[in-house]
Amino acid sequence: MELFDKKLASEIASLLLEIKAIQLQPEKPFTWASGWKSPIYCDNRISLSFPEVRTFIKKSLVKAIQANFPEVQSIAGVATAGIPQGALIADQMELPFLYVRSKPKGHGMENMIEGKVTPGQKVVVVEDLVSTGGSSLKAVKDLKAAGFEVLGMVSIFTYGFDIATLNFQNAGVKLICLSDYSSMLPQALGDDYIDDLTLASLVEWRKDPSAWKGVRAR
């Protein structure tokens, strides 16, 4: 798991904060499906409603793919949030596009993968957000099972959890991200979204999300 460009990581974080794709609420934490209390909620689908941001992210992901996976032959989005990002990238690069469902379609062909399946084709997977990497790597597994050669994955943002790094290492999948939690924190502080006390709490959450209890309102 690595950042494509450190300067770009700060720029992307600033944009995501500005359009409220990233929201920080340490005093009123969000609850994730896992039950974790989280001071951050990241919904990069919001970027699709901002043409300038959407285009900047698209072009940045294209550059990341061209630099790291130049032999790419097709683009695969992970349902659901990776679908629009992947389609935008495939259109820009003039490459075939397909997407991977979280489970087989319940009727008709009962497809897991939507689009033309071409065994041996070299594909790059697109995600909007990586947390633990579970759903992302499941998509990789499904693509490989269908005969694709998965070159790697790109994502807009990652929380940078150690478990995600370990999961991608164990799966042998290269992940390139435009921005991450560590890049976002100083940007949020510099842009006055948080203060020093809040920053300390956000750093603590990143160290041990399952044990983090939030901060009291001042």
Tell whether the model's pLDDT for residue 86 goes beyond 70.
yes
- Residues 108-141: pLDDT tens digits? 456 899 999 999 999 999 999 999 999 999 999 9
pLDDT, mean over the chain: 93
Q: What is the domain partition of the chain in residue ranges?
A: 2-206
- How much of the chain, in percent, has pLDDT values that exceed 90? 83
> What mean pLDDT comes out for the span 192-198?
92
Instruction: With a cut of 90, say whether residue 78 has pLDDT above it.
Output: yes
Q: Pick out the residues of the known binding site.
A: 101, 105, 107, 127-135
Whether residue 169 has pLDDT greater than 60? yes
Known binding-site positions for orotate: 131
Assess whether pLDDT exceeds 70 at residue 54.
yes
CATH 2.160.20.60 fits 2-206, yes or no: no
Over 80: is that where the pLDDT of 148 sits?
yes
175-180, strands of its sheet edge to edge = 2-3, 175-180, 149-158, 122-130, 74-78, 97-100, 113-114
Judged against a pLDDT cut of 80, whether residue 218 lies above it is answered with no
- DSSP letter at 142? H
Q: Residue 104 has what pLDDT?
A: 72
**Would you say 201 and 39 are in contact if contact means Cβ atoms under 8 Å apart?**
yes
Q: What's the pLDDT at 47?
A: 98
Q: What is the mean pLDDT of residues 3-21?
A: 97
pLDDT in tens, 60-70: 999 999 999 99
State residue 14 phi and psi, 5-degree precision.
Answer: -60, -40
Q: 132: exposed, middle or buried (C-beta count within 10 Å: 0-12, 13-18, 19+)? A: middle
pLDDT at 103 over 90: no
- The confidence score (pLDDT) of residue 209 equals 87
In tens, the pLDDT along 176-190 reads 999 999 999 999 999
Averaged pLDDT, 31-55: 93
What kind and span of H or E run contains 22?
A: strand 22-24
Sequence ranges of the binding site for 5-phospho-alpha-D-ribose 1-diphosphate: 101, 105, 107, 127-135
Phi and psi at residue 116, in whole multiples of 5°? -75, 125
